[in-house]
């Protein structure tokens, strides 16, 4: 067997041969005539001339060999429901949804906007869209009306699929009023709205526009809807990047390249096998939910768990109980979720039989070493960090243990994944940094591998200008993240290039300071932001959540703890990196996907408008910081 280094090198030097082999992992109605067309950089066309269907590869092709195997496992601790759909049952439900969408006028190339909680009908809707060649655009359920309206205007969907309500912590979150307001605000008006009535919130239906899924499903119980075979380059979906300001930025994904990339990743990165169970704790509103709740596991013939609920309800052992019950082999979560679990009883990590679990993958934000160490020790399982983006659709950096076993290094997402020609570049000169532990911008030489974004929806110019022109003198894809690479080829992500703090001429990455502070035994979580300072240009401000808040009883104890943190940073990074202040809070402001709103924190510290907070999970978190700053 070749080494991973050889495997990766071949993916770059024999690109067509390598990806031609990976393409054999999926079904084609017509095989590709050309593997990669990169005649118009930076636009890459993968598997040109190939004709396939994403839904066929995720569902239909398994009917011959595993029709009665579990495919979609829905678990809601919000409504106390568990429903298991076999591949045969999933196939039937997707056809019913496809029939309803077609009855509502949806055709190949039309957009369908999905604004849904984590319920089976959301999965049916996504798969039904790709079944009939429609382009789905999932917007996180509960998104505020203004943000939803801007996405409706950009996507111009023929139909919106939604529900009466989602639920969080046992409390219904009505969606219909938010959707109605968004449709009122939007200049573009969809022809129809399809609604799943969960019986959780009253809905006012608009005659002629609003339709109930339950009634239309009954009319199509036995309707057969064949797959619409499409070109490999046909768009499968658009997904709007989180944190977007101004006009939404729709990441456009193809069909064939995405299908192949996911199939290959399930084999080489996640080492998941048909007949096993995959559990991603994400949401369909985010790219992880698209790739590794819906499409990836199903393409691989695995059962996939779709979970509605919190990681702490009914208690902090709920996820591990599901691993035991459904014999999960591969699990995917986020560092934020693990930090939440750090506050729970550690005995819950060993309460359940986790013998089926081979590895826990984490992604979404940098994984700090203390958190990785804690969960690794608690579970006794390999912890594998991933680094990737909405734009790429699957990992850029990871360990490909399906190719060759490698050791995880805490704090590192691993090495460059096959297909990605990753470089570290000087942000001022564009020069490649080849030495160990040199800090540069993480960038990828074109073409981006299959599965990555084709372009920005309806805005090729924005795609080029945003992603490919930020490094002087080079046409490379910028991740906008700082990184270093050690002598073994492992990368460490240091934070966003736009989160660099320039303190009296010293360039400091917020991530480096956060790592140092996280090493304190009583700190569970920390966010460091740069704040304008008249003397130094910028200073670092840290906001930390304690494992044991009772240690702070008054101002004196807070100052004593702050002094301990200062000593840590001084030791690790030097006095120049010491934050101006370390403030102790009970919770950090985050989006519902768990990303810390560092820019909003910085804005509050500087007395500026924090901007669009529609994705914020707990508004009180930012208020707490405002109160501390103004005190």
pLDDT tens-digit map of 420-474: 999 999 988 999 999 999 999 999 999 999 999 999 999 999 999 999 999 989 9
Helix (H) / strand (E) containing 599? helix 598-605
State the pLDDT at residue 214.
97
- Nearby residues of 338 by Cβ (< 8 Å), 6 or more positions away: 362, 371, 374, 375
**Closest to 11 in 3D by CA, of 403, 436, 474:** 403
The overall average pLDDT reported for the chain is 93
**Closest to 494 in 3D by CA, of 542, 444, 544, 439:** 439
Give the CA distances from residue 103 to residues 113, 132, 191, 216, 418, in Å, rounded to whole numbers and listed in that order. 16, 12, 12, 9, 42
* E strand map for 41-110: 43-48, 51-52, 70-76, 81-86
What ranges in 470-580 are assigned the alpha helix state H?
510-518, 555-573
**Closest to 320 in 3D by CA, of 271, 400, 407, 381:** 381
φ/ψ of residue 99, rounded to 5: -65, -40
Consecutive 10-residue averages of pLDDT for the chain (631 residues): 91 98 98 98 98 98 98 98 98 98 98 98 98 96 84 97 95 95 96 98 97 98 98 97 63 98 98 98 94 98 97 95 98 90 90 97 85 92 94 97 94 96 94 95 98 97 94 94 95 79 73 88 93 82 93 91 92 83 93 81 89 74 87 73
Beta-bridge partner residues of 171: 168
Q: What's this model's pTM, rounded to 2 decimal places? A: 0.87
Residue ranges of domains in the chain, CATH in brackets = 4-309+386-481 (3.40.50.12780), 504-630 (3.30.300.30)
State the pLDDT at residue 505.
63
pLDDT in tens, 316-354: 999 999 999 999 999 999 888 898 898 888 899 999 999
- Nearby residues of 347 by Cβ (< 8 Å), 6 or more positions away: none
* E strand map for 175-309: 192-196, 210-212, 230-231, 237-240, 250-253, 277-280, 303-308
- Nearby residues of 630 by Cβ (< 8 Å), 6 or more positions away: none
Residue 213 DSSP symbol: H
């Amino acid at each position: 067997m070749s080494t991973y280094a050889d495997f990766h090198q071949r993916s770059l030097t024999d690109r067509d041969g390598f990806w031609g082999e990976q393409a054999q992992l999926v079904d084609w109605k017509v095989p590709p005539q050309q593997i990669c067309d990169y005649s118009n950089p930076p636009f890459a066309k993968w598997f040109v001339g190939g004709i396939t269907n994403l839904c066929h590869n995720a569902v239909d092709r398994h009917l011959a060999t595993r029709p009665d195997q579990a495919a979609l496992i829905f678990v809601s601790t919000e409504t106390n429901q568990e429903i298991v759909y076999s591949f045969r049952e999933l196939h039937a439900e997707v056809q019913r949804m496809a029939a309803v969408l077609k009855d509502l006028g949806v055709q190949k190339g039309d957009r369908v906007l999905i604004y849904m909680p984590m319920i089976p009908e959301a999965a049916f809707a996504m798969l039904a869209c790709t079944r009939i060649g429609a382009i789905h655009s999932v917007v996180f359920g509960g998104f505020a009306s203004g943000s939803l309206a801007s996405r409706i205007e950009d996507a111009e969907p023929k139909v919106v699929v939604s529900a009466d309500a989602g639920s969080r912590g046992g409390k219904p979150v009505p969606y219909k009023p938010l959707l109605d307001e968004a449709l009122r605000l939007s200049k573009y008006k969809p022809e129809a709205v399809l609604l799943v009535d969960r019986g959780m919130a009253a809905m006012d239906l608009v005659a002629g526009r609003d339709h109930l899924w339950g009634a239309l499903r009954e009319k199509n119980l036995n309707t057969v809807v064949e797959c619409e075979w499409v070109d490999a380059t046909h768009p499968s979906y658009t997904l709007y990047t989180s944190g977007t300001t101004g006009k939404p930025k729709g990441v456009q994904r193809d069909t064939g390249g995405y299908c192949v990339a996911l199939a290959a990743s399930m084999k080489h990165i996640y080492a998941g096998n048909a007949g096993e169970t995959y559990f991603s704790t994400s949401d369909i509103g985010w790219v992880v939910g698209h790739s590794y709740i819906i499409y990836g596991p199903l393409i691989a013939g695995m059962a996939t768990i779709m979970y509605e609920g919190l990681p702490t309800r009914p208690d902090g052992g709920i996820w591990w109980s599901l691993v035991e019950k459904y014999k999960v082999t591969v699990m995917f979560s986020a560092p934020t979720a693990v930090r939440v679990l750090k506050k729970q009883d550690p005995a819950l990590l060993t309460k359940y039989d986790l013998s089926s679990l081979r590895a826990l993958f984490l992604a979404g934000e940098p994984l700090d070493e203390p958190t990785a160490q804690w969960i690794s020790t608690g579970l006794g399982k390999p912890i594998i960090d991933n680094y990737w983006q909405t734009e790429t659709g699957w990992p850029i950096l990871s360990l490909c243990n399906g190719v060759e076993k490698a050791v995880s290094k805490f704090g590192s997402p691993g090495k460059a994944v096959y297909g990605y020609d990753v470089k570290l570049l000087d942000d001022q000169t564009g020069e490649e940094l080849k030495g160990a532990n040199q800090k540069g911008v993480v960038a990828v030489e074109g073409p981006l591998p299959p599965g990555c974004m084709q372009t920005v929806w309806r805005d090729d110019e924005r795609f080029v200008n945003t992603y490919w022109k930020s490094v002087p003198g080079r046409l490379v894809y910028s991740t906008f993240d700082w990184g270093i690479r050690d002598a073994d080829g492992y990368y460490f992500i240091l934070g966003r290039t736009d989160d660099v703090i320039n303190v009296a001429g010293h360039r400091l990455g917020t991530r480096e300071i956060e790592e140092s502070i996280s090493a304190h035994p009583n700190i569970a979580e920390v966010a460091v932001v740069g704040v304008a300072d008249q003397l130094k240009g910028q200073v670092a401000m840290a906001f930390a959540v304690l494992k044991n808040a009772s240690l702070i009883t008054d101002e004196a104890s807070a100052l004593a703890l702050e002094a301990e943190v200062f000593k840590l940073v001084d030791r690790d990074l030097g006095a120049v990196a010491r934050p101006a202040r370390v403030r102790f809070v009970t919770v950090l402001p985050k989006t519902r996907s768990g990303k810390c709103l560092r820019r909003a924190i910085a804005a509050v510290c500087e007395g500026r408008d924090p901007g669009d907070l529609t994705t914020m999970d707990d508004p009180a978190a930012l208020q707490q910081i405002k109160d501390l700053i103004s005190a």
